[in-house]
Amino acid sequence: MIDESRAALPNEGVPAEQVLAEIRELRATDRPTHGGRLFAYVYDPAVPGLDALAAAAYAESAHVNGLDPTAFPSLLAMENMLVAAAARLLGGGPDTSAPDVVGSVTSGGTESLILAVKTARDARPDIAAPRIVVPASAHAAFAKAAHYLRVELDTVPVDPTTLRPAAADVAAAIRPETVLVACSAPSYAHGVVDPVEQIAEVAAAAGVRCHVDACFGGWTLPYLRRLGVPVPPFDLAVPGVTSISVDLHKYAYAPKGVSVLLHRDPQLRAPQYFAYADWPGYTMINPVISSTRSGGPIAAAYATLRHLGDDGYLELTRRTWAAVRTLADAVRGTDGLRLAAEPESTVVCLTATDDGPDLFVLVDELAVRGWHTQPQLSYAGLPPSVHLTVTAAVAPRAAEFGSDLADAVTTARAAGPVGLPPELRALAGTLAPEALTGDLVAGLAAGLGLGPGGGLPDRMAPVNTLLDAAPPALRERLLVEFVSLLQRPAW
Ligand SMILES: Cc1ncc(COP(=O)(O)O)c(C=O)c1O
């Protein structure tokens, strides 16, 4: 039965106001993107008028096509200005040790990292089976890049206390087939800055490119440094760093769809381009993965940067850092919890002490109290943890967090961990991913409250507890199955 009242393509068009009202109604089920209580997915500076400015700028250029910069010089100009701004912030440009820096605007961190890997791979056509070396804490986008590009991924463990890789381990992992070494500044999961200087040095000694993934925090680290927070060298000022990425849709507070990938010089960037003239249509020359792309996100990012300005970002970083310290103090002051790492950027990552609460239950209890945090599963000897991406919007709310956290811990302790049936726990620990059948997935999903077509349980602790009991390969399979259950056409 087709529900015409909600069809994306109704028989007769629906008036504009009604369509917008419908979207607002759908949005009411989302987590709150504003208000400083959502600690992942969104980056909110809470600057009055900024959303309206970005939306207006977006609308100006929404129909401009980045496919051909000669047809739309406005986009080329704005891209070049964004690249220059990112380069200046990250140790490049005139009067620096990276005067020839060049870059591209991509759709996001994942695209920037895929392109960094592709560029390094294509710079070495002599290597038949290319490999990249990344810390175990590197963003999953490197694994995606390796998967898409058929490059082998060599991961280097991180120290369980510092959560950083050792440069000596990176050096040992470099092989003759290695085309790229990468590190994070900072890592997403824990917010720690890798020893970029030492890693870049071992990469350079081996004649290998070194990419710094500053997608998450590249826009805040320079401002944190100016505020007196100790930030180790991490950018193009470090010899041996050949490329660096920073997402403008994170801490530059631009609407989603904009990241910048910088290369130290044009020669290093050259293999990034894809050109094709061997067909009867237009010759295609793409610096990035998409061909047709909207000018909207680029214009919105340009407007955001120009409106906030350097002093604006400094002030927003000051507020964010104050919020980080308040939240970190709340964790330190809560019995049963500890910081997974001392905050050195804009992440607060907490974990439980031996006699602490179950973290997955805690995350649900925090959500009940209006705080939306992100659970991280145990991995390679690291315990489960809770991730908080802190943005400037959190500052006015931060003081309220401590009492709710303490309260949530008390409730989570009293409730205890989710009791998975022993046979289910055993299954999660032993099942080979390829042995997962459709029936088994459907049974598990129903038991966990995941319904076809979008049904989600109120509490996620049972899902997270089951996933946590499974090794990564089974987690991946289970989540693919669960998500594909949710992604069904709405008739
Ligand atoms: C360090 C880091 N790199 C890459 C990415 C991927 O960025 P995106 O989600 O924009 O593709 C993220 C996202 O959180 C990140 O934190």
Q: Which two tokens stand for residue 97?
A: 């040790």
CA–CA separation, 316 and 154 (whole Å):
37
Q: Can you state the angle between helices 296-332 and 73-89, rounded to 10 degrees?
A: 30
Q: What is the pLDDT of residues 202-238, one digit of tens each?
A: 999 999 999 999 999 999 999 999 999 999 999 999 9
Residue 438 pLDDT grade (very low, low, confident, very high; cuts 50, 70, 90):
confident
Is residue 292 very low, low, confident or very high in pLDDT (cuts 50, 70, 90)? very high
In angstroms, what is the span from residue 43 Cα to ligand 1's centroid? Answer: 12
Cα(450) to ligand 1 centroid in Å equals 27
Taking the centre of ligand 1 as the mean of its atom positions, its distance from the CA of residue 83, in whole angstroms, is 18
CB atoms near residue 370 (< 10 Å) = 13
Distance 140 CA to ligand 1 centre (A): 8
Average pLDDT over residues 481-486: 88
Q: Does the pLDDT of residue 60 top 70, yes or no? A: yes
474: left (phi over 0), alpha (psi -120 to 50) or beta: alpha
User: Which pLDDT score, from 0 to 100, does residue 1 have?
Assistant: 62
Q: What mean pLDDT is reported for the chain?
A: 96
The percent of residues above 90 in pLDDT, for the chain, comes to 89
The label of the residue with tokens 């489960």 reads: 384
Best mutation site among 216, 243, 245, 389 for ligand 1, i.e. most ligand atoms within 8 A of its Cβ? 216
Question: Considering only CA atoms, which residue is closest to atom 4 of ligand 1?
Answer: 109
Bigger pLDDT: 332 vs 453 = 332
pLDDT in tens, 378-435: 999 999 999 999 999 999 999 999 999 999 999 999 999 999 888 888 888 899 999 8
pLDDT at 452: 65
**Residue 4 scores a pLDDT above 80:** no
Q: List ligand 1's pocket residues with C-beta within 6 A.
A: 108-110, 113, 139, 141, 184, 188, 213, 215-216, 247
Q: Which of 41, 42, 183, 188 for a ligand 1 pocket mutation test, highest count of atoms within 8 Å of Cβ?
A: 188
Mean pLDDT of 177-187: 98
Res. 467: pLDDT tops 90: yes
Cα–Cα dist 447/89, whole Å: 50
Gap from CA of 174 to ligand 1 centroid (Å): 24
Which of 457-461's residues contact partners 24+ apart within 8 Å by CB, and which partners? Answer: 459/364, 460/360, 460/363, 460/364, 460/375, 461/358, 461/360, 461/361, 461/363, 461/364, 461/418
Q: Which of 164, 234, 185, 178 is nearest to 209 (CA)?
A: 178
pLDDT score at 448: 83
2, pLDDT greater than 70: no
Which residues, 6 or more positions from 431, have their beta carbon under 8 angstroms from its beta carbon? 470, 474
Confidence of residue 464 (pLDDT cuts 50, 70, 90): very high
Q: Which atom of ligand 1 is nearest to the CA of 249?
A: 10
Per-residue pLDDT, 454: 59
pLDDT of residue 447: 82
C-alpha dihedral (332, 335, 339, 345), degrees to nearest 10? -40
Residue 186 preceded by cis peptide, ω within 30: yes
Alpha carbon of 216 to ligand 1 centroid (Å) = 6
Report the alpha-carbon distance of residue 133 to residue 156 in Å, rounded: 7
Identify the residue with better confidence: 436 or 170: 170
CA gap 339, 203 in Å, rounded = 31
For residues 258 and 305, give the distance between their C-alpha atoms in angstroms, rounded to a whole number: 12
Beta-sheet strands, E only, within 355-455: 374-376, 385-389
Most ligand 1 atoms within 8 A of CB, residue of 39, 43, 110 to mutate: 110
pLDDT of 348 above 90: yes
The span from the CA of 313 to the CA of 219, in Å, is 9
Query: What pLDDT does 453 receive?
Result: 58
* CA 79 and chain centroid, separation: 22
| Atom number of ligand 1 nearest to Cα 256 | 10
Comparison of pLDDT for 289 and 430, the residue scoring more: 289
Nearest to 202 by CA among 233, 234, 172: 172
Q: Which residue has the higher pLDDT, 384 or 483?
A: 384
**Index of the ligand 1 atom closest to the CA of residue 214:** 1
User: Which of ligand 1's atoms lies nearest the C-alpha of 107?
Assistant: 10
Place of tokens 């038991």: 447
Task: Tell me whether strands 152-156 and 178-184 are parallel, antiparallel or unpaired.
Answer: unpaired
The dihedral over CA atoms of 104, 82, 132, 125, expressed in degrees to the nearest 10, equals: 20
Show Cβ contacts of residue 76 under 8 Å, excluding neighbours closer than 6 positions: 69
- Do the bridges between strand 374-376 and strand 385-389 make them parallel or antiparallel, or are there none, so unpaired? antiparallel
Q: Which amino acid is at 265?
A: D
Residue 424: the pLDDT is 87
* Protein residue whose Cα sits closest to atom 8 of ligand 1: 109
Kindly give the distance from the C-alpha atom of residue 187 to the centroid of ligand 1, in angstroms, as a whole number.
Answer: 9
Atom of ligand 1 nearest to the CA of 187: 1
Over residues 252-256, mean pLDDT: 98
CA–CA dist 164, 334 (Å, integer): 26
Residue 427: the pLDDT is: 87
pLDDT digits (tens, 9 = 90+) for 6-44: 899 999 999 999 999 999 999 999 999 999 999 999 999
Question: How many other C-beta atoms can be found within 10 angstroms of the C-beta atom of residue 155?
Answer: 18
CB 151 within 8 A of CB 132: yes
Furthest-apart CA atoms within the chain: distance in Å: 70
Distance of CA 210 to the CA centre of its chain: 20
Q: What values do phi and psi take at 263, rounded to 5?
A: -120, 145
Give, for ligand 1, the residue of 113, 247, 390 to mutate: max count of ligand atoms closer than 8 Å to Cβ. Answer: 247
Q: State the pTM of this model.
A: 0.97
pLDDT at residue 491 greater than cutoff 90? no
The residue whose C-alpha atom lies closest to atom 5 belonging to ligand 1 is 109
State pLDDT tens for residues 408-419.
999 999 999 999
Q: Which residues touch 353 (CB under 8 Å, ≥6 apart)?
A: 336, 337, 338
So what's the pLDDT on residue 445?
84
Q: Per residue in 97-143, pLDDT tens?
A: 999 999 999 999 999 999 999 999 999 999 999 999 999 999 999 99
Query: CA torsion, points 311, 317, 323, 326, in degrees to nearest 10?
Result: -100
pLDDT band (50, 70, 90) for residue 443: confident
Q: Report the run of H or E that residue 339 belongs to, with start and end.
A: strand 337-339
Q: What is the mean pLDDT of residues 45-74?
A: 97
